[in-house]
């Protein structure tokens, strides 16, 4: 059985609009706070470059045949370093591929081979999907 609301129980249109506006403002403030916090969590490319050799020497990060870094052990700044460096590499590989009118995958493969060759002894490289200390 449905009961009709009395005039006293029914919220007025102004109250409903006010509640919706309040919720919208709260959501906007929340999204703004999240948006401002995310860049602070991301590592700059310069910061990542400074930390790269250290995380490689610690065995946290290694080179792969795909031309990108991967995390060997997710400790400390390793994941952030990998993300920042890989983003820069991805952009550079795309520029090279476009300039030479070749597929990006070809650039990635050549870059991966060179990176593995240049990796000093004692650091990790990926061979056939397995991490190997060079």
In a domain, 101, yes or no: yes
The mean pLDDT value of the chain amounts to 85
Within this chain, do residues 31 and 87 fall inside the same structural domain, yes or no? no
Within this chain, do residues 84 and 62 fall inside the same structural domain, yes or no? yes
Within this chain, do residues 68 and 104 fall inside the same structural domain, yes or no? yes
Instruction: Please write down the long-range contacts of 116-124, taking CB distance under 8 Å and 24 or more positions apart.
Output: 116/63, 116/64, 116/65, 119/56, 119/62, 119/63, 122/57, 123/56, 123/57, 123/59, 123/62, 123/63, 124/56, 124/59, 124/61, 124/62, 124/63, 124/72
Quick one: pLDDT at residue 108? Answer: 98
Domain span including residue 128: 45-133
User: SS3 string of 33-62?
Assistant: HHHHHHHHHCCCHHHHHHHHHHHHHCCCEE
Average pLDDT over residues 31-45: 59
The pLDDT tens digits for 39-62 are 445 789 999 999 999 999 999 999
Within this chain, do residues 73 and 30 fall inside the same structural domain, yes or no? no
Average pLDDT over residues 91-102: 98
Predicted structure pTM score? 0.69
In a domain, 2, yes or no: no
Quick one: pLDDT at residue 109? Answer: 98
Within this chain, do residues 77 and 104 fall inside the same structural domain, yes or no? yes
In a domain, 3, yes or no: no
Q: How many domains does the chain have?
A: 2
Within this chain, do residues 76 and 53 fall inside the same structural domain, yes or no? yes
Within this chain, do residues 77 and 34 fall inside the same structural domain, yes or no? no
Within this chain, do residues 32 and 71 fall inside the same structural domain, yes or no? no
Quick one: pLDDT at residue 42? Answer: 73
Q: Is the pLDDT score of 25 beyond 70? A: no
In a domain, 4, yes or no: no
Within this chain, do residues 35 and 14 fall inside the same structural domain, yes or no? yes
In a domain, 95, yes or no: yes
Burial-class residue 63 by CB neighbours within 10 Å (0-12, 13-18, 19+).
buried
Q: Is the pLDDT score of 84 beyond 50? A: yes
Q: Is the pLDDT score of 20 beyond 70? A: no
């Amino acid at each position: 059985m449905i009961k009709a609301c009395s005039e006293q129980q029914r919220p007025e249109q102004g109250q409903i609009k006010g509640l919706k506006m309040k919720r919208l403002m709260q959501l906007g403030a929340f999204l703004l706070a999240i948006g401002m916090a995310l860049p602070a969590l991301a590592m700059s490319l310069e910061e990542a470059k400074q930390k790269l050799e250290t995380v490689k020497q610690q065995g946290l990060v290694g080179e792969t045949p795909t031309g990108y870094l991967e995390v060997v052990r997710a400790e400390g700044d390793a994941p952030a370093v990998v993300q920042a460096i890989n983003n820069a590499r991805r952009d550079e590989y795309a520029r090279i591929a476009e300039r030479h009118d070749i597929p990006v995958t070809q650039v990635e493969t050549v870059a991966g081979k060179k990176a593995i060759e240049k990796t000093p002894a004692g650091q990790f490289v990926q061979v056939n999907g397995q991490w190997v200390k060079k």
